[in-house]
């Protein structure tokens, strides 16, 4: 199959380009339906005339339906999108790229979805879907799943389907809460995922940026200690990755702390730890929850991040993470490869 694709690319490259263009249009309609032509053209950054031509073709093939509120995908169109996904994955050479990134980072597995989150926000939903599918593939009775907060992990939870065949599964927040947005805090995501799995969950009511003294005082409380013991026993951890400069501001670090991170070369952040480009921890925000020293004992460590701008942060946080699984996008993967080649 792969050999046939390579021949097609050489003999009729325009066919591949047209197929990829129509796949992107279908995918955009799918994630934003119902959607009008003008909005679709804006999302794809093309003229309405081009969109009109393609829409007419897709409608004739029964891939889409045009309704009063806007265009929607037909059941047949959904089936085509699903089948095209693997095809697009192969013609873009993402299978080979996954193996290269996996070897360079020294981790267990890499899954790459097409596109670049920095250029197309719909890629976030693709990342969420790919992550949810991977989580389903490793789920087993008795699992303890720890989640961090954030928009990336939220999309993982939202793309997870309901499951009722699991027993004795517990879901917990990996760390204390962050920020003012309740919808993306770890406790909220834990309860939502537990509802989809119809399983047990525990919450940890502790904000980020507590002083070391406050943390030490709280962990002596039996109710808190009992929850922390469950968190430390997690065998699945799902978290997002951020750029150090962006996350420092989001976590409310002081100007002095932010300047210190710059001086020490911090480029990536994950679950409150800041890493330099060699993967060394150079700073962490004191809070309750999973610590970097626990990571090596977690059986499945699932990092989800996309966008070319996250390339350096991904290398910093994932380097030599032997139990790590990276779910990322094409833009980030290409940037990671470029950075490795330049190191």
For every residue of 1-43, DSSP letters joined together read -HHHHHHHHHH-HHHHHHHHHHHHHHHHHHHH-SB-HHHHHHH
Nearest to 267 by CA among 301, 307, 317, 303: 317
Domain with CATH 1.10.10.10 in the chain: 2-91
| Per-residue pLDDT, 292 | 80
Please state the φ and ψ torsions of residue 274, each to the nearest 5 degrees. Answer: -110, 130
| Per-residue pLDDT, 66 | 93
Q: What is the DSSP letter of 321?
A: -
Fold for 94-342, please state it: Rossmann fold (3.40.50)
Place of tokens 């469950």: 230
Per-residue pLDDT of the chain (343 residues; tens, 9 = 90+): 556 656 666 666 677 788 888 998 999 999 999 999 999 999 888 888 889 999 999 999 999 999 999 999 999 999 999 888 888 888 888 999 999 999 999 999 999 999 999 998 889 999 999 999 999 999 998 999 999 989 999 999 999 989 887 778 999 999 876 556 778 889 999 999 999 999 999 998 776 666 677 777 777 788 788 888 899 999 999 999 999 999 988 888 889 999 999 999 999 999 889 999 999 999 988 777 888 887 888 999 999 999 999 999 999 999 988 999 999 999 999 999 999 988 6
CB atoms within 10 A of CB 335: 21
What residues contact residue 337 under an 8 Å CB cut-off, 6+ apart? 97, 100, 101, 104
| Per-residue pLDDT, 45 | 85
What is the rounded CA–CA span in Å between residue 335 and residue 341? 10
What is the rounded CA–CA span in Å between residue 211 and residue 284? 12
CA 73 distance to own-chain centroid: 25
Q: What pTM was computed for the model?
A: 0.88
Tell me the HSE value of 57 on the side-chain side, using a 13 A CA sphere: 13
Domain with CATH 3.40.50.1360 in the chain: 94-342
Is 2-91 a CATH 1.10.10.10 domain? yes
Which residues in 165-299 belong to E strands, given as ranges? 170-173, 200-201, 236-240, 242-243, 266-270, 273-276, 281-284
| Per-residue pLDDT, 177 | 63
The angle that helices 151-158 and 186-197 make with each other, rounded to 10 degrees, is 10
What is the rounded CA–CA span in Å between residue 92 and residue 16? 10
Q: What are the distances in angstroms from CA 30 to CA 33, 44, 181?
A: 6, 13, 27
| Per-residue pLDDT, 137 | 94
């Amino acid at each position: 199959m792969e050999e046939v694709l390579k021949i097609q690319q050489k003999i009729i490259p325009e066919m591949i380009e047209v197929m990829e263009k129509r796949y992107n249009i279908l995918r955009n309609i799918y994630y934003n339906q119902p959607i009008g032509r003008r909005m679709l053209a804006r999302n794809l950054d093309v003229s309405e005339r081009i969109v009109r031509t393609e829409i007419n073709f897709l409608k004739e093939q029964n891939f889409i339906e045009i309704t009063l509120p806007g265009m929607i995908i037909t059941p047949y169109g959904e089936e085509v999108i699903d089948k095209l996904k693997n095809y697009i994955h192969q013609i873009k050479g993402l299978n080979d790229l996954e193996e290269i990134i996996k070897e360079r980072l020294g981790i267990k597995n890499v899954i790459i979805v097409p596109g670049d989150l920095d250029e197309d926000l719909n890629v976030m939903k693709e990342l969420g879907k790919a992550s949810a599918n991977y989580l389903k593939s490793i789920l087993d009775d008795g699992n303890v799943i720890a989640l961090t907060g954030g928009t990336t992990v939220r999309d993982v939870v939202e793309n997870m389907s309901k499951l009722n065949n699991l027993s004795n599964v517990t879901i917990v927040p990996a760390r204390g809460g962050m920020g003012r947005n309740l919808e993306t805090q770890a406790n909220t995501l834990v309860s939502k995922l537990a509802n989809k799995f119809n399983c047990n969950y525990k919450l940890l009511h502790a904000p980020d940026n507590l002083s070391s003294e406050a943390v030490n005082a709280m962990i002596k409380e039996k109710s808190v200690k009992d929850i922390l013991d469950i968190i430390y026993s997690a065998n699945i951890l799902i978290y997002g990755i951020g750029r150090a400069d962006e996350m420092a501001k989001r976590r409310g670090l002081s100007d002095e702390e932010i300047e210190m991170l710059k001086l020490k070369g911090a480029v990536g952040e994950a679950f409150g730890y800041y890493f330099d480009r060699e993967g060394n921890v150079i700073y962490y925000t004191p809070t309750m929850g999973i610590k970097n020293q626990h990571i090596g004992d977690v059986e499945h460590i699932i990092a989800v991040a996309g966008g070319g701008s996250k390339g350096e942060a991904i290398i910093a946080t994932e380097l030599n993470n032997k139990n790590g699984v990276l779910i990322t996008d094409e833009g980030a993967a290409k940037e990671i490869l470029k950075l490795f080649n330049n190191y």
